[in-house]
Structure 1
Amino acid sequence: MDELPGLPGVVRTLTLPVLRHVRTIREWHAGLLTETEIAALAGDTPASTAAASADLLPAFDGAELTRSDRLLVNTLAEDGRCTYDELARVSGVSEATARRRLGVLRREGRVRVRAAIEPVLLGLPVEAVLWVRAVPAAVGRVAAALAESPHARYVSFVTGERQLLALTAFPNEAALHDFVTRSPWLDEAASVEVSMVLGSLKRGGMLAPWLRG
């Protein structure tokens, strides 16, 4: 926060603490897969259970990684689709060892594998940030209704004049218009501010492809 105002060209910053997450990007499903398909990808574990168990993973204890583990982790950070054979060759161990070490690192909470999805690749090129205000008695119901929509990639309670922040994605502007004018949750919303996303520079810690060296 101290460094941001010192960046060349920055004239204003706004910081709003997140009070509680309702839906995170990791939990988002665009409505393209069935529950059976989602469970199969989660290793026969229901999506809600898989998301909850990921939050219960232990935090790593700060112990330094071995050289081969560092090489394995750095390789995965560059390309999360690397095979065990590729990880083994880069880290200088056998394929069986690479498989075992990655399993250990994941169980210890040192490595978490997730997909950074570009909505446009799913046919959802129109992205928007929604700032929603509701009367205090209704804000929980509005948040829950927003989170149930496949268009809502992220929903959280924030401080400030508007209690809810939602990141959304749509196939076109007409769908966005319908969402912010005809959705049932609007009956309990006092106001909705819509900001179109013109471009994303970073998702899930990864720079956009055109910004990578």
Structure 2
Amino acid sequence: MPELLRDSTIFDDLDKQIVHGLVVDARIPFAKLGAILGVSEQTVARRYRSMRERGIIHVSGQVNVVPLGHARWILRIRSTPSGALRLGEALARQPELSWVSLLSTGSEVMCVSRARTAQRRDALLLQLIPRAPQVTELIAHEVMHAFPQDEEWPRYSCLFTAEQLSELGSRRPIQDAAVGEVPVALTPEDEAMLAILARDGRAPYAQLAAATGWSAPRVARRMVELVESDVLYFDLDFALERMGYAVRAAIWLRVRPADLAATGAAIAMFPEVTYVAATTGPTTLTAALVCRDTPHLYRFVTERLGGLPGIVDMEVTPALRTFKQAQALMDTDRISLLR
């Protein structure tokens, strides 16, 4: 059995199958998922509610800012040691920032900025963060290219038969907008819908219709349009420690330019990796990964990364604490949903 599938007893195989179904299609009807898995709709709904109420998973709708004409940034913010914890907590409350973590240095916070206007980007990168009294240095890496993965973490597809996987379908990959493409424009109604989906990616169409003033069928059509234009995608946050994963880390790589594409594509296939991107800045490739423990992290570095010829330098920074994932705030080892 693959190392990452040796989960704690918090999930049984049916839970894992439900999770995989949500990873593929976050809004899949529970009746359809139950039929694929050979259980009732009520069983799927009950299992999902239990995982959500226990703070183990959270489904959210996220905005991809690239089709809107803006860049994603990975920020490394160095702080005074005494102020790092307070800085991380404050940054987690900023709606444009996600994946906010205190790194193992104890005086550095990492986060991802997805500001949706140039004005808000400049406010964050040039004013709000640099002027915070704890901040001593800010390094901003612009994401040039995010490498697609063959399967989203936690990679539970092996628990399905080929027929079940065919019925379930595949997750639509998130694509960056083509250069020169006209940015997508969002309406006030879109914004109202997106605000609700950020809190609950499975919000009923009736709730979205009430917030937008549209009919439920119109909401459904517009959601499909936003997904197909790559503006809207759905993400799952997990309480990793409760699932048996003690180490969450970022790796910062310097890769020879000629090997950058091949190295990024290879890293994206490793089961421990949740995200990998080519970036600007002092390092050229950044990846996020999840491991069982420190020995597992060591094996990943020596056996998986060690076999790639294009890497010339590497830094590994485990997270001491995660304040916020894609959308969900973390309360020690459980998800505390944003209100």
TM-score between both structures, scaled by the size of structure 2: 0.49
Structure 1 residues 69-127: Cα deviation after superposition (integer angstroms, max 9, x where no partner):
66544333322222334445x54979xx3243232243145972402322616543411
Residues 112 and 177 of structure 1: CA distance in aligned 2, closer, same or farther (over 3 Å): same
Match of 2:157 in 1: 33
Match of 1:202 in 2: 324
Match of 2:39 in 1: none
> If each structure's strand is expressed as a fraction of its own residues, which one has the higher value?
2
Alpha-carbon distance in structure 2 between the residues aligned to 1:103 and 1:181: 48
Give SS of 1:130's match. Answer: strand
Give SS of 2:232's match. Answer: coil
Residues 98 and 157 of structure 1: CA distance in aligned 2, closer, same or farther (over 3 Å): same
Residues 22 and 210 of structure 1: CA distance in aligned 2, closer, same or farther (over 3 Å): same
Match of 2:131 in 1: 6
1:168 aligns with 2:289: yes
Alpha-carbon distance in structure 1 between the residues aligned to 2:245 and 2:232: 26
Q: 8 Å contact 1:28–1:152 — kept in the other structure? A: no
- Whichever residue aligns with residue 145 of structure 2, its letter is R
Residues 196 and 39 of structure 1: CA distance in aligned 2, closer, same or farther (over 3 Å): farther
Residues 53 and 16 of structure 1: CA distance in aligned 2, closer, same or farther (over 3 Å): closer
Q: For structure 2, list consecutive stretches of 5 or more residues without a partner in the other structure.
A: 1-124
How many residues are matched? 201
Match of 1:115 in 2: 235
More relative contact order, 1 or 2 (CA 8 Å, 6+ apart): 2
1:29-108 to 2 correspondence within 5 Å?
Answer: 29-34=153-158, 36=162, 40-41=167-168, 44=169, 46-47=170-171, 50-51=172-173, 60-65=184-189, 72-87=193-208, 90-91=210-211, 97-108=215-226
- Whichever residue aligns with residue 117 of structure 1, its letter is D
- Whichever residue aligns with residue 204 of structure 1, its letter is A
1:205 Cα deviation after fit = 4.2
- Whichever residue aligns with residue 186 of structure 1, its letter is G
Alpha-carbon distance in structure 1 between the residues aligned to 2:258 and 2:200: 45
Structure 1 residues 13-69: Cα deviation after superposition (integer angstroms, max 9, x where no partner):
111222322247x9633222248566644xx3x44xx2157968x85434442xxx6
TM-score between both structures, scaled by the size of structure 1: 0.73
Residues 87 and 161 of structure 1: CA distance in aligned 2, closer, same or farther (over 3 Å): closer
Residues 146 and 114 of structure 1: CA distance in aligned 2, closer, same or farther (over 3 Å): same
Give SS of 1:80's match. Answer: coil
Residues 23 and 202 of structure 1: CA distance in aligned 2, closer, same or farther (over 3 Å): farther
RMSD: 3.6
1:136 Cα deviation after fit = 3.6
Match of 1:19 in 2: 144
